[in-house]
């Protein structure tokens, strides 16, 4: 089996503590059953399983299921290391690029990670998690502004909120070729479909290939 013996084994109530924008009281206690699929069954799909059954034991031992890595920590501290350079066929970033203190650094790191002709598949908005607080009229200088926010991580004060046009230009200058691009794709975020309020982004989808 995979992470659990069966699918739909665990019941959770994601909206149990929500008190605002509730239409019906029962909406809060609705249950969701997870996992919806067995991760191990996904890795050994029907085609792969059939192929394995027809192979001799030595061939079965040579079969390598798809690899998945999970790493805790800051993206650059792990994946900008030289040992990661040229090791990846593709990188998929979902609601991710805008989490960078400097999005250019992330794009450069992804470019280095990829093999020649490797692809970056990106989908998400530009919320910018490290966006700096707005400048007020009483901030007479940059120094005053920095002093007023001296309690913040310095990355908040050095981050730049770039438009998608700017990011597109960065991708090209770093060495990517844009192969597919769509702007304004609606995507709900942690949405309760019965709620009176939902958060919806109009996202960018982009496929870029390393030259």
Query: What residues are paired with 181 via a beta bridge?
Result: 206
| CA 199 vs CA 11, 67, 75, 89: distances in Å | 24, 33, 26, 33
Tell me the mean pLDDT in the region 36-64. 60
Q: What is the pLDDT of residue 120?
A: 99
Tell me what pLDDT residue 50 has. 45
Token pair for 201: 């982004």
Which domains does the chain possess?
A: 69-126+162-210 (3.40.50.150)
Q: DSSP states of 89-126 as a string?
A: EEEEEES-GGG-SSHHHHHHHHHHHEEEEEEEEEEE--
**Cβ neighbours of residue 3 under 8 Å, at least 6 residues apart?**
35, 38, 39, 40
The 3-state DSSP class for residue 164 equals helix
Q: Which residues contact 34 (CB under 8 A, 6 or more apart)?
A: 8, 9, 10, 12
Question: Tens digit of pLDDT for each residue in 40-53?
Answer: 777 676 544 444 44
**pTM for the structure as a whole:** 0.79
More confident residue, 39 or 187: 187
DSSP state string for 127-138? --TTPPPPPPTT
Q: Look at the chain and count its residues.
A: 211
Residue 94: both structure tokens together = 């979902």
DSSP character for 151?
A: T
Q: What is the tens place of the pLDDT at every residue in 102-161?
A: 999 999 999 999 999 999 999 999 999 999 999 899 989 999 999 999 999 999 999 999
* pLDDT, mean of residues 66-86: 86
With bands split at pLDDT 50, 70 and 90, how would you rate the model's confidence at 89? very high
């Amino acid at each position: 089996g995979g992470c659990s013996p069966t699918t739909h084994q665990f019941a959770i109530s994601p909206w149990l503590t929500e008190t605002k924008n509730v239409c019906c009281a029962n909406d809060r206690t609705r249950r969701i059953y997870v996992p919806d699929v067995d991760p191990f069954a996904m890795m050994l799909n029907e085609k792969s399983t059939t192929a394995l059954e027809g192979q001799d034991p030595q061939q079965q031992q040579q079969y390598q299921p798809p690899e998945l890595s999970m790493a805790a920590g800051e993206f650059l501290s792990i994946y900008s290391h030289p040992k990661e350079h040229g090791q990846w066929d593709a990188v998929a970033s979902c609601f991710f690029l805008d989490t960078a203190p400097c999005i250019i650094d992330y794009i450069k790191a992804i470019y280095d990670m990829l093999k020649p002709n490797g692809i970056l598949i990106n989908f998400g908005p530009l919320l910018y998690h490290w966006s700096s607080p707005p400048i007020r009229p009483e901030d007479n200088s940059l120094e005053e502004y920095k002093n007023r926010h001296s309690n913040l991580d310095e990355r908040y004060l050095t981050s730049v909120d770039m438009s998608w046009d700017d990011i597109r230009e960065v991708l090209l200058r770093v060495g990517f070729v844009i192969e597919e691009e769509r702007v304004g794709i609606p995507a709900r975020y942690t949405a309760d479909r019965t709620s009176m309020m939902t958060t919806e982004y109009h996202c960018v989808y982009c496929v870029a290939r390393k030259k």
